[in-house]
A and B are shown apart, each in its own frame.
Chain A
Amino acid sequence: MNLARPLGLVLALVSAAATAADTVKIGCVAPLTGPQAHLGKDIENGARLAIDEINAARPTLAGKPVRFELVVEDDQADPRTATIVGQKLVDAGVKGVVGHLNSGASIPASKIYSDAGVPQMSPASTAILYTRQGFKTTYRVMANDAQQGKALGGAAVKIGKRVAVVDDRTAYGQGLADEVAKAVVAAGGEVVGREFTTDKSTDFTAILTSLKAKRPDVVVYGGMDPQAAPMVRQMRQLGIKAAFMGGDGMQSTEFIKLAGNVAEGVTGSSPGLPLEKMPGGGAFTQKFNARFGKIQIYAPFAYDAAQVLVAAMRKADSAEPARYLPELAKVSLDGVIGPIAFDAYGDLEDGPVTLYQVKGGQWVPVETVGGK
């Protein structure tokens, strides 16, 4: 305690010297360690590219020159760490946050940002709940699971009217499956079977056998790849010829690896456009590759997330969240990922969802649903 005060004073002096040209801090938070570190780094790099480009153009707010600074934190894809680093960002005085990656991190941290009035722009979280908590600060530049469920349900009915829906009873799986079921009915199809499993099961023969009796044309699964792969294998072994579909939890290379030869023809959806279909995709890829190397998934989304925050600040001519938050709600601009505008919840208006199909052991984009 004795040391803290003089030390704080020195720090304050140092930072005061550095902030001669007004500094606006933007937080960026994602898992930078652990199994998803490569995806988290992708987000950091995307946001950094945006901030550096903005700074290079010598931006001004309210007639004064400003410099944007990216403050990066690691949430380890962990809900508890997410709240800790979220608080750290707020304490550091960030004016906006790009993050988090996982819905499970975005949701608990969103309360902290909301309490501090700091806008949060997630480049990756798709859970519907994230923007439905009644907070004014939650936004995302990614399609959500409702939009994904709608795309999957619509595509399922195009294959056949009799659809069976299975989910793993997790927040993600159940949320997605419920949206699929709604969309199937809305598109004129019929949900002939609704079965459940857990996110730790490997044996699905019992539920698949009951589904077989209901003669579905399509089976849609809300869950992750370790269940989807044995599920489709057991379906084929039971002689069920129905098509198999699922969300982004199974639209992974891991799924193809685990399912092997039965993966062929399976449809998986993923929010957002494939990189090569993004309006700004080509130019962005060139810029990004030159500086950071290969894009994983989220870099263009994180880039746009940072751009959108700054665009709203410019419109309001202020970096104060209370001033620029209303402008954020009215944003309408063309990003790398496509046109960006938000609905009343802070979700991407008409967020695009891409359907992929496994062809020759690869996910091949076949159709994009939504988007403008």
Chain B
Amino acid sequence: MDIFLQQLLNGLVLGSLYALVALGYTMVYGILELINFAHGEVVMIGAMVALTVLGVLAGTPLPPAAMLAIAAAVAIPACMATGFTIERVAYRPLRRAPRLAPLITAIGVSIVLQNVAMIVWGRQYVSFPPLIDVHIHEVAGATITNVQIAIVALAALIMAGLLLLVRRTRLGRAMRATAQNREVAELMGVDVNRVISATFVIGSALAAVAGMMVAAYYGLAHYAMGFMLGLKAFTAAVLGGIGNIPGAMLGGLLLGIIESLGAGYIGDLTGGFLGSHYQDIFAFLVLILVLVFRPSGLLGERIADRA
């Protein structure tokens, strides 16, 4: 039982990370019906920039919390700028092009960003400096660390903030209007270009936070780390219903738990025929099943809510 609980907790932490990244996919899809495949790379850039800043600050007498805050204060704007630039350079000129064109540019941007990161930060893994004192807490036989608690709590807080932004603010209303019907929103005086830029910038800020969390949790970052993470988060978004913000959160959490339980029990259940290195196939098995049986996802592509 404690093992089952532990797997659930593992899944919850992993799922929170997926959910945070999935939001970036789902917000952009809600407004543009574009799958921004470069989003995973924005996560990677967030992690890399944060680690570079931490590396520079390493010798200074600042307290660790201040260092992390400074790193976030640099990484978040850096990712926002990256997201903004990607949209301006690679997607806006193609906005009236057939839908396949921006999808292919998205893949192109993803490859370009990976290679730029490889040139800037090298091929090696970059390690996260030992700033955070890890405390291990016991909960009914399972363990959870303060880092994991922080990840789950921070992700929940950010997601709640995002929901408030979309549902209660002027910008949120403009985003929802643009998602429903771009032309009509424009006629009503919504500056559609500004709203789309804002969507990319907000999604990228979330990606920066997710990148820092991933680097802190696993203790390392790498130029190719965003690729798989991006694919998983995209799956999570589809699972919840792409374009649907609460759907991305639910999809992320569910996917994390499915992966954790799947990898944890597959070996024992199949008598060793299938091993735990098939962990990654669970995400894509889920993707295929959802696309075949419920293409609109668990919560559906609710137009009124997509943003």
- Among A230, A237, A257, max chain B CB count under 10 A is at A237
Could you say which residues of chain A place their CB within 8 Å of the CB of B261? 206
Indicate whether A209 reaches chain B with its CB closer than 8 angstroms. yes
Which of A168, A196, A203: most chain B CB closer than 10 A?
Answer: A203
A258:B143 contact, CB within 8 angstroms: no
Interface of B is mostly: helix
Whether B279 contacts A197 by the Cβ 8 Å rule is yes
**Given known A-B contacts A205-B260, A237-B134, A258-B219, A169 and B277 have beta carbons under 8 A apart:** yes
Q: A238 at the A/B interface (Cβ < 8 Å)?
A: yes
Contact B125 A226 (CB under 8 A): yes
- Is B52's beta carbon under 8 Å from chain A? no
B276–A195 touching, CB < 8 Å: yes
Shortest 9 CB-CB contacts between residues of A and residues of B: A196-B277, A206-B263, A205-B10, A196-B275, A239-B143, A206-B264, A202-B218, A213-B3, A207-B276
Among B136, B138, B224, the most chain A Cβ lie within 10 Å of the Cβ of: B136
**Given A195-B267, A206-B264, A237-B134: A212 touches B218 (CB 8 Å cut-off):** no
Question: In the bound complex, do residue B218 and residue A209 qualify as a contact, i.e. CB atoms below 8 Å apart?
Answer: no
Q: Which residues of A contact B148 (CB under 8 A)?
A: 237
Q: Assess the A258–B277 pair: CB atoms within 8 A.
A: no
Please indicate the chain B residues that have their CB under 8 angstroms from the CB of A260 in the complex.
127, 130, 219
CB distance from A289 to the nearest CB of B (A): 28
Q: A237-B143, A259-B219 are in contact. Are A194 and B272 (CB under 8 A)?
A: yes
In the complex formed, the residue of B with least CB distance to A213 is: B3
Q: A206-B264, A206-B276, A258-B127 are in contact. List 16 more A-B contacts (CB 8 A).
A: A35-B123, A196-B277, A201-B280, A205-B13, A205-B14, A206-B7, A206-B260, A209-B264, A210-B264, A213-B3, A226-B220, A226-B222, A239-B143, A254-B124, A257-B127, A260-B127
> Is A261 in the interface zone, CB < 8 Å from B?
yes
B41 at the interface (CB under 8 A from A): no
Contacts of A210 in B (CB 8 A): 3, 264-265, 267-268, 276
Does chain A have a CB within 8 A of B6?
Answer: yes
**Once bound together, how far apart are the Cα atoms of A213 and B5, in whole Å?**
12
Q: How far is the CA of A229 from the CA of B145 in the complex (A)?
A: 17
Shortest distance between the CB of A95 and any CB in chain B (Å):
37
Residue of A nearest to B263 (CB): A206
Q: Which residues of A contact B268 (CB under 8 A)?
A: 210
C-beta contact mask, B45-87 vs A, less than 8 Å → 1, else 0?
Answer: 0000000000000000000000000000000000000000000
A233 at the interface (CB under 8 A from B): yes
Q: In the complex the two chains form, what is the Cα distance from A257 to B58 in whole Å? A: 14
Q: In this complex, what residue of A is CB-closest to B126?
A: A258
| A52 → chain B closest CB, angstroms | 35
B6, B145, B225 — most chain A CB neighbours (10 Å): B6
In the complex where A210-B3, A212-B3 touch, is A196 in contact with B276 (Cβ < 8 A)? yes
Q: Which residues of A contact B147 (CB under 8 A)?
A: 237
B259 an interface residue at 8 Å Cβ cutoff? yes
Contact of A209 among B3, B125, B222, B224 (CB under 8 A): B3
Q: Can you report 5 residue pairs joining A to B where beta carbons are below 8 Å apart? A: A196-B275, A205-B10, A206-B259, A206-B261, A207-B276
Check A209–B130 contact: CB distance below 8 A.
no
The dominant DSSP class at the A interface is: helix
Chain A 52-74 interface mask (CB, 8 Å, partner B; 1/0): 00000000000000000000000
B107 at the interface (CB under 8 A from A): no
CB-based contact B225/A202 at 8 Å: yes
**Interface residue B228 (Cβ < 8 Å from any Cβ of A):** yes
Interface string of A31-43 (1 = CB under 8 A from B): 0000100000000
Q: Within 8 Å CB of A226, what residues of B? A: 125, 220, 222
Interface of chain A residues 303 through 341 with chain B (CB within 8 A): none
Q: Tell me, rounded to whole Å, the shortest Cβ–Cβ distance linking A177 to chain B.
A: 12
Residues on A with beta carbons closer than 8 Å to the beta carbon of B123: 35
Query: Taking the complex as formed, is A198 at the interface, i.e. its CB lies under 8 A from any CB of chain B?
Result: yes
How many Å lie between the Cα of A195 and that of B222 in the bound state?
24
When chains A and B are docked, how far (Å) is the Cα of A202 from the Cα of B127? 13
A200 interface residue (CB < 8 Å to B): yes
* Chain A residues closer than 8 Å to B130, beta-carbon distance: 260-261
0/1 string, B133-154, CB within 8 A of A gives 1: 0101010000101011000000
Q: Would you give the shortest CB distance from B225 to chain A, in whole angstroms?
A: 7
Collect the chain A residues with CB atoms within 8 Å of residue B127's CB.
Answer: 229, 257-258, 260
CB distance from A94 to the nearest CB of B (A): 32
Report B300 CB to chain A, min CB distance, Å. Answer: 30
User: A200 near B228 (CB under 8 angstroms)?
Assistant: yes
Residue-wise interface mask of A (178-214) relative to B, using a CB-CB cutoff of 8 A (1 in contact, 0 not): 0000000000000000111110111101110110110
Residues of B within 8 A of A236 (CB): 136
Q: Which residues of B lie under 8 Å from residue A233 when comparing CB positions?
A: 218-219
CB-CB under 8 A for A230 and B218, given A195-B276, A210-B268: yes
Residue of B nearest to A257 (CB): B127
CB distance B267 to A203 under 8 Å? Answer: no
Interface string of B3-28 (1 = CB under 8 A from A): 10011001101100000000000000
Q: How far apart sit A205 and B3, CA to CA, in the bound complex (Å)? A: 11
**Which residues does chain B contribute within 8 Å of A212, judged by CB atoms?**
3, 6
Q: Which of A195, A205, A239, A258 contacts B275 (CB 8 A)?
A: A195
Interface residues of B in 194-233 (CB under 8 A from A): 214, 218-220, 222, 224-225, 228
Q: How far is the CA of A162 from the CA of B175 in the complex (A)?
A: 58
Which chain A residues numbered 208 to 234 have a C-beta less than 8 Å away from chain B? Answer: 209-210, 212-213, 225-226, 229-230, 233
| Complex CA–CA separation, A237 to B135 (angstroms) | 8
| Bound CA–CA A201/B275 (angstroms) | 14
Q: Let me know if A238 and B219 touch, CB within 8 A.
A: no
User: Closest chain B residue to A167 by CB distance?
Assistant: B277
- Max chain B C-beta neighbours (<10 A), residue from A169, A210, A229, A233: A210
CA A363 – CA B206 in complex, angstroms? 39
Contact of A230 among B136, B220, B263 (CB under 8 A): B220
